[in-house]
Every structure is written in structure tokens, then in C-alpha cells.
Chains A and B, each alone.
Chain A
Amino acid sequence: MASVASASLTLGAGGGTRISAPRWVWVLVPLLALAGIFFYPLFFIVKQSLTGDAGPPTLAHYAALLSSSFFHAALLRTIQIAVLSTIGCLALGFVLALIVSFVPFPGVRLFSGFIDTILAFPSFLIALSFTFLYGSAGAFNFIFMDLLHTTQPPIDFVYTKWGVILAEVTFYTPFVMRPLLAAFSQLDTALIEVASSLGARPFRIIREIIFPEAVPAMLAGGSLCLLLTLNEFGIVLFIGAKGVVTLPMVIYGKAIQEFDYTAGCVAAVVNIALSVGLYSLYRYVLSRTGGGRASVL
């Protein structure tokens, strides 16, 4: 029982100094740090959303924001962009991971390294590069306007929700590819060879052998994508798409631009609830579909 109730820490190479303390002490320290850094501000956000600047707790602030059509549109737009971006990331990530893993080509290592580099970029950089490439005065429009002898830019999707989605797909696809590449590296090539010898053509092998093995990794990568795109702020802000307002933009607009902290906190709480709900769903789905194999993430 003593070993359960207490734990000791030995300092120094010779084991000269021993600190013996109850086990809960070792849990308490990180818990306090977490509370100070995360739960305390969270508590104040929730408190502000309920009480406003002063007064007793009430749900009136929630009712006011949640009933506004502006908020409904932002919520729907957030979910729509996140879902479409995640689908795009899954599709593109699966195809690219397949090519990298099973269709060896010169420069595959360089390509793989480039994917890791994208993971290290800040997300707004992608939005910025999109503006330079596909924006009204971007490189592609400049070339096409010259070729087509027109004054109107022919590429005109960047400042719409599709521009945001494309930028998010570009930025977040590596988050799907990484676990997929790890899963494919674990896949026994004998499965593919045997399937092929049994008469299965490449598409059937992808559909019936490779894809089922990739599902846990896709769930892991896809869920991460969904969570990240749901909370994406930098790309939406830098693209500056007209009429594309997402929840993080609502929070920013209310709290920073309009100084309406209460409404900003209400939107933040809704955003947090959405993220936590999705994360819980992800854990549940993962536990039902062989989550152990998704630990590659």
C-alpha cells in the first residue's frame, strides 16, 4: 500500500538525496500549473459569458447571440468550411500517401521532407501565398490576363469560401498524410501481392485491402483536421474572403473590434463546446474502430 500512497524522487548520481512525498503531491503540481494556465482563463470566459460586465448569472447573453441570424450563418459557415476542408484533406492526403508509399518515384524523399516542412509553416503563410498566386493581382491572373487579353482577372475564387477551403486543404493535408504514411509503412506488402495474385486489379486492392487498413489513420488525421479547421483563424483572416465569417472571426470581431467582450465570450464558449463535442465523438468513433492502430499520430 505504501508504494501506492507515496512515491519518491532520487536526486544525484549517487542517489544521495531522496525526496519522499505522497503520490497525490506529484499529481497536484502539474494540475495546478494547468489550472493557472488554462482553467483559470477558461473559467473567466464562462463567467463573463454568463454575467456580462456585472450582474447575476443569466443565459440572456446566450439567448441574444444564439438567436441572431448572423451567428447562425457564422456557425453553419464554420462547420461547412471545416467539413469540406477535412474531406478535401482526406481525399488528397490518401492519394498522395498512396503515391508516396506504393509508387516509388525519384525525389520521393524530398517530397516527404517537403510535407514535413509545410507542417512547420504558420497557416497564414499559405493564405498569403494563395493571394500572391491566385489573387486579383496574383501571378496566375497576371499571366492569364496577358494571354487572354482581358482586363478582368479570370481566376476569381480566392476571396470566396472556396479560397479558404483550398488554402486549408493545402495547409492541413500533411496532417492526414503523416499518420497515413506511418500506417502504410506498417502494411504488409504480402497482402497486396497475394491480392494481386488472386486476380485483384489495383483499384480493388486500394478499395478492399489498403483502404480498410488506412481507416484508423484517416480517422485520426481527419479528426485532427476537423478540429483544427474548425478553429482556424489565420487563413480566414488573411484571405479576407467577402462574407466568409467563421466562429473564430465572430469572437475576434466581437471582443477586439466591437469591444463586446460578453458576446465574444459567448461565441468562444460555443466554439469550445463544439470542439470538445467533436473531440469526444472522435474518441468514441476511434474506440469503436480500432483506435489502437491510430496511435501512429
Chain B
Amino acid sequence: MLGAELGRNVAASDTPREASARRQPGIRFESVTVAYGHTVALEDFSLDIEPGEVMALLGPSGSGKTTALRAVAGFVTPARGRIFLGDTDVTQMPPFRRGIGMVVQQYALFPHMRVEQNVGFGLRAGGAPRGEIAARVREWLQLVGMGAYAARYPQELSGGQQQRVAIARALAIRPKVLLLDEPLSALDAQLRSGMLNEIARLHRELPDVTILYVTHDQIEALTLADRIAVMNESKLVDVGSAQSLYQQPPSRFTATFVGNANLLAVTIVEFDYARQQARVRLGPRMLQVAASAAAHPGETRMLCIRPHALSLEPHAAGANTIEGTVTDVQWRGSAHRLYLDVDGAELCVDSKPLRAPPPRGQRVSLHFAPHDATLLAAPDGPSAGGRRAEPPGDRL
């Protein structure tokens, strides 16, 4: 139903992405800097978002991701740089002219309006005929499964229902761009998971809407985004597909923030260009790891291993084995998380639920496959060992 409506003007031979590329604008940030007084909230931010793409801005609190979103919406004016929607420079354009749908963390439903009035608000503001408003409101409410709640007030709805209405309201104006600012943060874990699936489904049905999704939750970003822009301290750190950022993190920050990777300082012993592998030294141990970029013997690199890529071994034998002392054991329902001390560095391991988890102080052996580890650039901070990173997104 919806797909048919959105595809009305699309030629039969067009794929949805091709059609959207012609009809829908992407978003382009050109060296955007936003400051609040003397505080720089976003610094020299450049990013291209393709039409119809879902881009997640992922980062901790204060990283500038919401400021970037607010700059697209027009609620903050950049001190420097320009913002484009498609080919249109919208840097100085007032928010009501930008044609953007927006969903915020606390839903922001108009409390004195019924659900149907909320969804129809943007259509009324845009001067749509009354008959068309009613039809489109009905249609969008059906799409988000809220058709039966049209006459209710927001305060009569649960958090998840309110968020569905907020999404329907944002989409009802057929926006060129949809901005989602931590839309699931106010929901409990179960609802969040359900709404995540709902948003993924909506995007499949609306492939031509460009979505900018701000979150500090790596699971949301990995689930929804075509690409992720990782941000920290008001700057863009890395951009890439969810898979590439997870499997080949370009930086230490991305490695730890996306997927809670272990980082250990190692020394290159040998680099095999043909097999794209390197032999590295970790304390007294020799390890074999994948290396996509050239590495020279004697160089110091960071060995990056995901917690789930490490497996507990009964005996300290074989290649790629690391021994460590258990410092903490946590049961997480579907997994056990172990923290180990490896030559003074902390290593985090996610294992299947263990019948008899090793007690604190016990020496254990860990194994990993060469292709499950990667080498990052030399440490840019004082710590050479792994660290216990707990990104907020770990909670799902």
C-alpha cells in the first residue's frame, strides 16, 4: 500500500534506490563547525550521506552527534561550513522550509491533540486538503499499527505507542530526510528491541527516505545503519559500513566503542604480504594475526580482538594462545563475561554459559583464530594494554 504510493512517480525499470537517487536528496556536511558561545560542539564536520541511505551517528554523550542532527534540522546555525540537502544549500534556511521529518527521544507529541491530529499536524501546516489529510493520517497510522488509537490522547498511550505515533507524524509529510534523535532511548529493553525491528521494517518499505539516526547505542547503529559515522569529542572519528567498522576498525576509539574490542600492544616480527598475515610478539608469546596493511618488523601495533573471538582452552598448548589470570566473572544470562589479567593488561572474554566458570585468580588459556584479530595503528595514548570499555550500547 505504502510502497505503491511512494512509487507512483517512479519509472517501472527503476529500482527503489535508483528512483530515490533521482528523487530524494541526501545530506552533505561541508566542514561544519557549531559553537555555543565559546564551546565548540561540532568541529570541522564533513560527511556525505547518500539518498535513501541510513546513516547512524554513533558516539558517547557530548560527542557532537545531536548537534550535527540539529544543524541539519535548522535548530542551530553553523559558525562555519555549509549543509546541503541534495543540491540545495540549507545552511541559512529556516527549519519549516526544509521538509524534514524528525523524531526525538521523548516523542514530543503535542499533548492537547489526539493521535490523528498529531499525525495530521504537518499536513495541515503544509496546507494539504482536509480530505487528503484524513486519508493519509489513516494510512500512516495503519502502517505503524496505531489505527485503533487515532482518537486517543498521547498520555493515554504507552511509550512504544507514542514513539510509533511520532514516527507516523514525521513520515506523514513525506519528508526528504528523516532525523531520528535517540528515538529508542526512553523505552525499556524489550520495547526497544521491538521498535528497532519496526524501524528496520519501515525503512525496507520506504527505501527512498534518507535517514540520519543519532544514537549512543552500538546495537541500534549496527542493526539499522547502512553506514556508521563514529564521533568523539565534537569530531568525526571514522565512517564506514557497520560490518567494516566492526571487523576492521580503523582506530582505537572505534574498536573499543563499537564492539568493545580488546586492544593489546604487540611488536611486529614478520609480515607475510602474500597471505596478508603478520607474526607478532605479545610479551613472551608469538601470535599469528591478519594484517591488511603492510607492517614492518620492529613496529609497535595494537592487536584488536573482539571478546567473543576468544575461546577458553583447557590446556595452554597450540598457536595463538594467550594465558591470563581471571580477575572477574560475570554471568549475563546468555553468556559469561570474564576479565583476565594478561601481563598487566586487561582482557575481556565473552564465552558461552559455563557450567563451572573459573574462579578469580585461576590461570586460564585463551585461543583465537588469526582472521578474528586485526592490527591497528600504534597506540596514540599512554596505555599499551587492553582496557575495560563498556560502551552504553552494550546493554541490549
Contacts and interface: CB of A to CB of B under 8 A. Distances in A.
B96 A200 contact: yes
A116 interface: no
A149 interface: no
Interface string A161-204: 00000000000000000000000000010110111111111001
A180 to B, nearest CB: 16
Instruction: State the main secondary structure of chain A at its contact with B.
Output: helix
Contacts of A260: none
Contact of B96 (A199, A208, A209, A212): A199
Given A188-B108, A198-B101, A198-B169, A208 B73 contact: no
Nearest to A213: B112
B121 interface: yes
Nearest to B127: A199
Given A190-B104, A204-B125, A208-B121, A195 B110 contact: yes
B147 interface: no
A204 B173 CA distance: 16
A207 to B, nearest CB: 11
A16 to B, nearest CB: 50
Contacts of A208: 110, 121
A191 B96 contact: no
A135 B115 CA distance: 55
Contacts of B166: 194
Interface in B65-103: 73-75, 94-102
Contact of B108 (A191, A199, A201): A191
Contacts of A188: 106, 108
Interface residues on A, range: 10 to 19
A196 B99 CA distance: 10
Contact of A197 (B101, B106, B112): B101
Nearest to A209: B110
A194 B125 contact: no
Nearest to B106: A190
Contacts of A199: 96-97, 99, 122, 125-126, 173
From A188, A195, A196, A198, name the one whose CB has the most chain B CB atoms within 10 angstroms: A198
Contacts of B73: 193, 197
From B74, B99, B102, name the one whose CB has the most chain A CB atoms within 10 angstroms: B102
A198 B120 CA distance: 10
A190 to B, nearest CB: 4
Contacts of A209: 110
Contacts of A194: 102, 104, 108, 166, 169
A191 B179 CA distance: 15
A201 B125 contact: yes
Contacts of A197: 73-74, 95-96, 98, 100-102, 170, 179
A143 to B, nearest CB: 41
B102 A193 contact: yes
A199 B73 CA distance: 11
A195 B75 CA distance: 12
A28 B122 CA distance: 58
From A193, A194, A201, A208, name the one whose CB has the most chain B CB atoms within 10 angstroms: A194
Contact of A200 (B101, B111, B121): B121
A190 B108 contact: yes
Contacts of A198: 96, 101-102, 121-122, 125, 169-170, 173
Interface string B39-76: 00000000000000000000000000000000001110
Contacts of B96: 196-201
A133 B100 CA distance: 51
Interface string A48-88: 00000000000000000000000000000000000000000
A199 B98 CA distance: 8
21 contacts: A190-B104, A190-B108, A195-B121, A196-B75, A196-B94, A196-B96, A197-B74, A197-B95, A197-B96, A197-B98, A197-B100, A198-B96, A198-B121, A198-B125, A199-B97, A199-B173, A200-B96, A200-B125, A204-B125, A209-B110, A212-B112
Given A193-B95, A197-B170, A213-B111, 18 more contacts: A190-B106, A190-B108, A194-B102, A196-B95, A196-B96, A197-B74, A197-B102, A198-B122, A198-B169, A198-B170, A198-B173, A199-B173, A200-B121, A201-B125, A204-B125, A208-B121, A209-B110, A212-B112
